[in-house]
Amino acid sequence: MFMLVCMQLRITRRRFMETIWSSIHSHQFAVIAVIAVALIIVYFLFKNLIKLALLFLLILILTGSYFYFTAPRKSPEDLSNAIKKTQEQAGQMIDKGKNAYGKGKEIIGKGVEITDSVSKAISKDKETTRKD
pLDDT tens readout for residues 31-41 = 888 889 999 98
Look up the pTM and report it: 0.36
pLDDT of residue 58: 93
Domain boundaries defined on the chain: 14-70, 75-132
Residues 120, 123, 127, 128: is their CA dihedral positive or negative?
positive
3-state secondary structure of 73: coil
Assess contact for 26 and 18: CB atoms under 8 A.
Answer: no
Answer yes or no: is pLDDT of 44 > 90.
Answer: no
Assess contact for 46 and 27: CB atoms under 8 A.
Answer: no
